[in-house]
Amino acid sequence: MPSEVKSLNEECGIFGVWGTPDAAKLTYIGLFALQHRGQEGAGITVNNDGHLTTKRGFGLLTDVFDSPSAVDEMTGQAAIGHVRYSTAGSNLLENIQPLPFNFSDTQFALAHNGNLTNAISIRKNLEDRGAIYHSSSDTENLMHLIRLSQEDNLDDQMKEALNIIKGGFAYLVMTKDRLYAALDPNGFRPLVVGQLPNGAYVVCSETCALDAVGAEFKFDVQPGQLIKIDASGITVDKYTDDTQLAICSMEFIYFARPDSDIYGVNVHSARKRMGARLAQEQPVENADMVIGVPNSSLSAAMGYAEESGLPYEMGLVKNQYSARTFIEPTQALREQGVNMKLSAVKGVVRGKNLVLVDDSIVRGTTSRRIVKLLKDAGAASVHLRIASPPLRYPCFYGIDIQHVRELIAANKTIEQMREIFGADSLGFLSVQGVVDSVNLKTDAPNKGLCVAYFDGKYPTPLYDYEEEYDRDQAQLQSMR
């Protein structure tokens, strides 16, 4: 569960359900459990006896659906929904998902988590042939490819289209009579299937959304699979055999909710093991207590405390209303210690030697601020321990860290970072530490994790991003 003090952003959570009354309401509840995956836009498409209606808007789910009637009036037996993080510049209503498409004789709605690596090429190619795009979202490509496919049934059109797009994607596609779910060949993003007590199927990004709607977990969607749910039940098919699991390790480290399970591994427990491993790899002598940055680092901090034998304490408190304020302290106020989101517990940290556990470091601005906050509150020393390796490379599969110049670890040594943060010591978890702590049951490389942002080894070609990546790396070389 992300703390607001991070600048790392997942692009999206998705939820779909087929064959139950109150489909839109369940989708709202499911998305509410996935809100941590995107706070800048939300939408729901409901299917009422074959007629699809979409409601979407900017902000949190509670901004878009701002009264009970806003959901209640969306009558229907199936629905898909989406919560979204939008990158600056693409701030258009048209980009908020589900994307609705109306044809003379039918309707589609698409929801997508991930990032395509050949979206620009496809769009240029199709526009040259007369295609008109509704949005600036890469998501829309799938719709065009489906409609341009010469295959004679929708199943095969889907498969053909899915084989053309590249990158990271978990797609939900609803038509008047069915719901498809598809996962990319590397399974970069999580996607699970569950079942309601009344037999209706649910497909969504994390198991926490299954729990929220009272659905029983059935299975993790596998790389390359195409799931179809319709009146005759669920069909598990595949559109490619060329697959290899490489799920985003940041899901375990930071994005996913601690109560979710991914491929059978509980996220909180994985984080706790990372914290324990971190205590082994990066111990601190003579510390008085371990504290975590709320909320995303608390599991790792517990693990560090348990392994090290140090007391686990509440040294930082997060304002639970901080998701919502539009009002920020001025820079002058900030300088004099004003902090609206995080507070140090003076009565706890005063005079103490602290192990401060954080899950990851992106730009480093937050780390610097938190160390200062604790020292201003009287901490004797702050030993910063990060429960993941240094982030040094961009992600092209759905996390918003595409510019290496913004990644402090790509530009500074560990000692430089320690100095910038004002910490007394600084240590990171190893890549192997992450891999062992998650410990997925697979013989894929890195036990099925994508760790490209740590080691630069991408599990797929980069297509449209190849050139950008090379340019970034060259620039970086020249800087070092």
Instruction: Examine residue 329 and tell whether it contacts a copy of itself (CB under 8 A).
Output: yes
* Interface of this chain with a copy of itself, residues 9 to 28, rule: CB under 8 A: 22, 25-26, 28
359 a known binding residue? Answer: yes
Among 231, 241, 321, 331, binds a copy of itself (CB under 8 A): 321
Please list the alpha-helical segments (H only) found in 397-438: 408-411, 414-421, 431-438
User: What's the rounded Cα separation, in Å, for the pair 72 and 24?
Assistant: 8
Residues 6+ apart with CB under 8 A from 309: none
The pattern of x and - marking residues 70 through 89 that bind a copy of itself according to CB under 8 A reads xx------------------
Buried b vs exposed e over 223-235: b needs ≥16 C-beta within 10 Å?
Answer: bbbbbbbbeeebe
List the one residue out of 406, 416, 417 whose CA is nearest residue 453: 406
Instruction: Examine residue 104 and tell whether it contacts a copy of itself (CB under 8 A).
Output: yes
Instruction: Examine residue 33 and tell whether it contacts a copy of itself (CB under 8 A).
Output: yes
Among 196, 234, 420, 431, binds a copy of itself (CB under 8 A): 196
* Interface of this chain with a copy of itself, residues 415 to 454, rule: CB under 8 A: none
The pattern of x and - marking residues 290 through 319 that bind a copy of itself according to CB under 8 A reads -----x--xx--x---x----xxxx--x-x
Q: SS3 of 280, please?
A: helix
In the set 12, 208, 248, 450, the catalytic residue is 12
Instruction: Examine residue 1 and tell whether it contacts a copy of itself (CB under 8 A).
Output: yes
Q: SS3 of 4, please?
A: coil
Nearer to a copy of itself, 277 or 418 (CB): 277
Instruction: Examine residue 169 and tell whether it contacts a copy of itself (CB under 8 A).
Output: no
Query: C-beta of 475: minimal distance to a copy of itself in Å?
Result: 25
Instruction: Examine residue 257 and tell whether it contacts a copy of itself (CB under 8 A).
Output: yes
Among 208, 399, 438, 449, binds a copy of itself (CB under 8 A): 208
Angle at 387 between CA 384 and CA 388, to 5 degrees: 115
Strand pairing class (99-102; 78-84): unpaired
139 phi-psi bin (left φ>0, alpha ψ -120 to 50, beta other):
alpha
Instruction: Examine residue 351 and tell whether it contacts a copy of itself (CB under 8 A).
Output: no
**Active-site annotation holds for 12:** yes
CA 290, distance to chain mean position in Å, is: 27
Q: Binding-site residues for Mg(2+), please?
A: 296, 358-359
- Please list the active-site residues: 12
